[in-house]
Every structure is written in structure tokens, then in C-alpha cells.
Amino acid sequence: MKRTNPFWIFSIFSRAFASDPSLPNSKDTRGLLSERQTDSSVNIHPSLDPVFIEQNSSGQLDARSLFGLFGRQTCENNCGNGCCKSSEKCCPSSCCPDLQGPCCDTGGCCPSYAFCFPSTDKCCSKTSETCGGKLCLVTGSVCCGSGTWGCKSGESCCSDGCCTKCCPGACCPSGTECGNAYGECQVRRTSQRTSTQTSSSSSSSSTAPPSLTTPKIQTPKIPTSTAAGSATSSECKHVSATGIPQPTSSNLPVMEFVYISPIVAPDIPINICLGIRHKLGRSAQEIVLTYAGDGQRCSRQRGRGSGCRGCCKGVTKSSGAEAGRRTECDEFPFKSTVEGGDGAWNRCVTGWENQLQGYYLNSWYRDNNIKPDDQFIVRVSNLDCSTVQPADLQSCQNGGASTLQTRAESLVSGSETAVRRTLDNKTTVVIAPFGDLDGMGYEAKARMSTGRLTQARVMDSDGDEITAMGEDNLNSLYSDDGLSIKWAFDDYVGGVGFIGETQSTSVNLTWDLQSDVSGSSSNSESVASKSPFSLISQLYIAAWFGLLMLFYLAY
């Protein structure tokens, strides 16, 4: 980057302050920089863009030149190459609000109760489990695989991932024990005490149930609330068992996930391989699942029971073509199935891949006319599932590590210029991944400056549709004001995003997700604002009505 003369910047700042007295005084000049960069450059605060754009069309200036400028202003704590407040600690490229906090090699800093995790921009709590400096896990976690992955407290490191109980060929949930056959779990035997009482006497006895009353866990066609791994409520269908035997599947429809390459949406098929192994207790290319069809509320209830809430908060892809991108939690089996929910397998996947999965599930259920309690096969092709390892995808952080950014994780913005093929390879889409969202009101603002959409929806990673955009809404998307979409969740919903079908080969979609303080969290209803034409039409009609009333009164 070309170095910028600091005296020239000083003159520009002087012009800015002179022309706009509403700008901060020199003491707060540091606040005019919206973000510090590790490449010795900073982004110019939007309030100064009209001034600096004359000399630097990229909207950036050399950081050290700006630091030199700070030295000429009123400075509470001169750091040599910059200026911090008296209550802040000088670090190489930032001001640390905690005077006792350590400065990190990456230029940032951490609070005093944490340390800088090596070669990253993360702060790790001093009480965290680090597995010899390789990971940053929640306190009490167990290190697995020579410290390459870990399990939370109460779980064990098994060949198929983190399990409550490791059994030969199976990963068994709480309340079960290893079955007699390989890959099976069975309900733990317990003794029962019975008590009878009359007005004159009472007695008690202890009996053990016969072995015939200890059933093997299996996937029922229509689950009942009295079966092992029963529904989370009397209304919602659920079975949480693992090590489940598979029914005959020759005539069932197949939902296929094709692994193309390590750089083309690899996360979803890899995680499905791991999820199949977790549920069956062995490696396999396919599994039979049961579509619940018990409504959006029950589907979301299973999603909240899967352990995904907060799992991937602050987790970005650490390597590969998508390194640095935000991740979302992907659970398997899907929350739309009876087998989803409690006991599901979780990993952090790239956000836009999660939205592609949701789009695929939505269209596949519709195209195959899947009804409640229908069974189907989920199959992974072009990838040997026996070669996939849990460490191939990043696992949950659950608060063990925190990033340096201070903005709420659920509020995001970005721009998207990539046109992506859907997982069924039928069409192309553009995606804005909003992330895993907590229960509150939301407003998404989007504008498309290049390209056109044929249809668009906001949906989650399981295909549950939150809102769909009509023609008027899409017209607003191309206007200067853009499109505004509002909705509210009463609780956590994972993998939410905007996805639009397009025939354009070049697109530019900018978007911003904000909290909507007026939104109600009592339901998940949504509304997309339309073009201003509707308001103008109403005013036009009102004006004509007023004229007619004047003529009526005059005569």
C-alpha cells in the first residue's frame, strides 16, 4: 500500500472538523476509525468518506500515518505509534480496555481472566481445557485423539465421537447399556419397588422385571410416548436412541448427498457420514429416517434439544477454501425427522452450505410427496464414510473461547457475489447466511445492485420456511432503499438465511441483519415490506376521494 503523507491527512481532518462541527473533537479522533486491520491499514469512518474519497478511492489510509496524526492531537496515553485512553493498555495495534490483560501476537488483546490463544485472534479462559495448547474447550472437557478434539464433561471419547457410553460398534445414550449383539444398545435394567397399603396394615416388596421386558431400541414406524427414547412432549415425535437396527429399505425414496470435492460444499456430506456412524454405531453410507411431519413448532423443539444452541458461536472455519468464514451448527439426523433432536450429532459447518442443505430438504420433501411417518433413505455418495474422522469438522465451543469482536454474534452483515449450484444441481442460488439465531425480533435489510432473482425465501437449515418474497418484494430488492424483512422467534432457531433463485451469472447482494426492538417474540410471523408504490397509491386514492367530497359539498 502506498504510504500517505501525515501532514496531508492533518489538513484533511482540519477541513472535516471545520466544515462539520458535529464531528468529535480531537481528543476522540481515534473513534473515527471504524476498524483496525492487521495489514497496517484501517477503514475510514463513514462520516469522513466524502473527504477522503478525493485522494483514496479505496476508502483506506495507511494506519501508521493516522497514528502519527493521533500524536498531534490531545493524547491521554501516548503509545508511540498511536494514542489510547488513560484507562487502556497500549498493545501493538490496539488499545486494550483491561490494563491487566495480555497483548497478543496478532496485535489484539485479551481480558485479564484469559490468555491469547497462539496464532489466532481468540481469547481463551484461563480455566479452559487446552489439551496441551491445541484446543480451547469448556472447563471440565475431556481431550480426545491426542488432543486433536474433545468431549464435554460427562461424555467419553469413543471411536465414533463423544458418547455417554462407549459400546462395541455403538455410541449409547444416557439410560442405556451395551446390548448383547454388536452395534446394539438396550434399556438399562432397574429393579422396581411396589407398595400396597390398607387401613390396618402395609407391606412392601422388591421385584425385578423379567428379562423379556427389556426391549432392544429400534426406530418405530410411528413412535409412541411410552417407547424408549419417547417424544419430548405428548405432541411431538422423537426417538433419541443410537445403535438402531435398520428396516428393509429397498423401496424407499433416496435423499442423496454427493461429495464433489474438498472445495465444493464438502461440510454437509462429511457431517452426514459422521452422523450416520453416531446413530448406527458403525460406518455406513446410508441410514433410514422417518419424516415427523408434526409441524414447525415440534421441528424447532427437536432442533433446540439437539445441543446446537450456542455450539458454533464465534467459530470460524480454520482452514480450507472457506477459512475465516462464519460457521453454523449442523445437526444430524435432521430435526424434521423423528430421529432428530436429543442425541443428534453436531458439528460447525460453513453457513452458506447449511442454507443449501435447508433448500434441498425443502424441495426434496415436496418433490417426493413425503407425508408424516414416511420413511426414506439418506445416502452419501462419492465419499467413503469409513475414512471420515470427527476432527475433519470443527466441534462445539460452547463458550470456551471468545473472539475479539464486541458486536453481538447474532447481528451480521455482508455482501455476496457468488452464484452457487443447489445440492440437487437443479438451479443456481445466491445466499445470505444470517446464522444461528436466538429468540427475539429481527429485521433483515437487503439490496441487489447486480442480477435478478426469480424467487426468494428466508428459511432455516432444515428447510422450514420463515417467509417468502412476492414480486413486489423482489422489485423493492432492486431499489435504492432495498428490501426490509421482519420476523420474530420465541426461542433459538438454527441455520437461518436468505436464499434466492437466480438465472443471472453475476450478482451483488448486500445485506444487514439487525435486532428489531418492536418485534414480538411470542410467535414467528414475518412480514416483508413492499415497494413504496403501495403507499403512493393510497395517497392518490385519498386525494381523489377528497376532491369528490368537495364537489359533493359544493353542490
Tens-place pLDDT, residues 383-409: 999 999 999 999 986 543 333 333 334
Which backbone phi and psi does 547 adopt, to 5 degrees?
A: -65, -40
| C-beta separation of 529 from 429 below 8 A | no
Question: Cell triple for residue 182?
Answer: 454388536
Judged by average pLDDT, the poorest of 129-133, 162-166, 538-542 is 538-542
Stretch (H or E) spanning 147: none
Calculate mean pLDDT across residues 142-159. Answer: 76
pTM, two decimal places: 0.56
More confident residue, 460 or 516: 460
Separation of alpha carbons 268 and 349, rounded Å: 7
Is a pLDDT exceeding 60 seen at residue 242? no
Separation of alpha carbons 191 and 207, rounded Å: 6
More confident residue, 189 or 175: 175
Question: Cell triple for residue 70?
Answer: 493521533
Going by C-alpha positions, the residue among 262, 295, 239, 261 that lies closest to residue 462 is: 295
| C-beta separation of 312 from 397 below 8 A | yes
Separation of alpha carbons 60 and 45, rounded Å: 10
Return the bridge partners of 513, or none: 444
**What does the pLDDT read at residue 34?**
36
Helices and strands of the chain, counted as H and E runs: 8, 35
Q: Quote the Cα angle for 462-465-468, to 5°.
A: 145
Residue 268, SS3 per DSSP: helix
Residue 305, SS3 per DSSP: coil
**What does the pLDDT read at residue 17?**
37
Q: How confident is residue 552, by pLDDT bands cut at 50, 70 and 90?
A: low
| Domain spans, the chain | 6-74, 214-403, 407-555
Going by C-alpha positions, the residue among 476, 482, 429, 436 that lies closest to residue 456 is: 429
**What does the pLDDT read at residue 240?**
57
**What does the pLDDT read at residue 247?**
60
Calculate mean pLDDT across residues 347-354. Answer: 96
Query: For residue 498, how many other CB atoms are within 10 A of its CB?
Result: 27
| C-beta separation of 113 from 393 below 8 A | no
Separation of alpha carbons 243 and 282, rounded Å: 8
Which backbone phi and psi does 7 adopt, to 5 degrees?
A: -70, -35
Q: How confident is residue 523, by pLDDT bands cut at 50, 70 and 90?
A: very low
Query: How high does pLDDT run on average in the chain?
Result: 73
Is a pLDDT exceeding 50 seen at residue 85? yes
407-555 carries CATH number 2.60.120: yes
Tens-place pLDDT, residues 11-22: 433 343 333 433
Query: For residue 14, how many other CB atoms are within 10 A of its CB?
Result: 11
Which one-letter DSSP state was computed for residue 249? -
| C-beta separation of 99 from 84 below 8 A | no
Q: What is the dihedral of CA 544, 549, 551, 555, to 10 degrees?
A: 160
Q: What is the dihedral of CA 328, 331, 332, 337, to 10 degrees?
A: -120
Separation of alpha carbons 299 and 334, rounded Å: 9
**What does the pLDDT read at residue 161?**
67
Residue 329, SS3 per DSSP: strand
Stretch (H or E) spanning 551: helix 533-554
Name, in order, each residue with C-beta under 8 angstroms of 387's C-beta and a sequence gap of 6 or more.
Answer: none
